[in-house]
Amino acid sequence: MPIAVMIPTKNEEKNLPYALESVKFADQVFVLDSGSTDSTRQIAESMGATFVHHDWEGYAAQKNWGLDNLPITQPWVFILDADEVITPELRDELIKVASEDKCEENGFYINRFFIFLDKRIRHCGYYPSWNLRFFRRGKARYEVREVHEHMIVDGKVGYLKHDMEHNDRRGMEYYIAKHNHYSTLEARELFRIEQAQTHGTMHYSPFGGPLERRRWVKHAIWPRLPAKWFFRWLYMYVLKLGILDGVVGFHFCLFLASYEHQITLKLAELRREARRPKAGAGAK
């Protein structure tokens, strides 16, 4: 099929076979690796993917490098994380769009469901979870952002009907460590935006598009709330019906609330460091 798939990786030997198995329909499959020390490369090459190493630049920059430098020749591109799987129903939908190529859209949002503790999360504000992953070559790039980056498309966008699955098989120890790292990046990004807003170089409006409105709430309203971790848990577990996901839903909401608390603590630390006088600043 006239589709190229790009999969960023680092030490993904447990997840990669599932991801690659789900994209066998694509004409080109690239595994863009940033320094794996496990069997990621052997798995990629044994399953017919093209393995390319590039030193890690950051979530958005790494993918943009791949879009600019990989020998992608197909007209449609799908970016898939190694812990994700394209379901058979989504596969058929992608094939239809790419093979007919009659649509006006240059990009499509894909819905994603999460597997947590071996159970699908159906509520908690994590489903539906729309991600723009499928697009015409040369018509989309990621915004420059440290974490939770979004893709910007030149032209119309649409929504596909079927889902992809997110299921990290590396276990809770890795999952917790990953979110600890994400919380550091998120705190840095929030601090950067906070500083830019203070100096008048960045502004979000409640009257813009859906993404800008979400960012406005995140950067204008959310930072002013006390006990944000509690509001996050309350929002996910009660307002977004995480209670209907049972015990796993309770643990999932609590896990994300603790992630929110980590961000709060790290952001407070960055603010304190910014207020501290620099060593030797008062010396004459």
Which pLDDT tens digit goes with each residue over 114-153?
Answer: 999 999 999 999 999 999 999 999 999 998 876 667 899 9
Q: Are residues 72 and 200 in the same domain?
A: no
Q: What is the pLDDT of residue 200?
A: 60
Chain mean position to CA 98: 23
Task: For residues 63 and 24, give the distance between their C-alpha atoms in angstroms, rounded to a whole number.
Answer: 21
Task: For residues 201 and 193, give the distance between their C-alpha atoms in angstroms, rounded to a whole number.
Answer: 9
Confidence category of residue 199, pLDDT binned at 50, 70, 90:
low
Mean pLDDT of 5-11: 98
- The boundaries of the domain holding residue 204 are 172-275
* Residue at which a domain ends, from 139, 166, 193: 166
Q: Is a pLDDT exceeding 80 seen at residue 84? A: yes
What confidence tens digit (pLDDT) does each residue in 227-249 have? Answer: 889 999 999 999 999 999 999 99
Q: Are residues 193 and 212 in the same domain?
A: yes
Q: Are residues 113 and 245 in the same domain?
A: no
* Residue at which a domain ends, from 166, 186, 208: 166
Give a yes or no: residue 280 inside a domain. no
Q: What is the pLDDT of residue 284?
A: 46
Q: Are residues 119 and 207 in the same domain?
A: no
Burial classification of residue 96, based on how many CB atoms lie within 10 Å of its CB (0-12 exposed, 13-18 middle, 19 or more buried): middle
Q: Are residues 80 and 150 in the same domain?
A: yes
Q: Are residues 160 and 251 in the same domain?
A: no
Q: Is the peptide bond before 128 cis (omega within 30 degrees of 0)?
A: yes
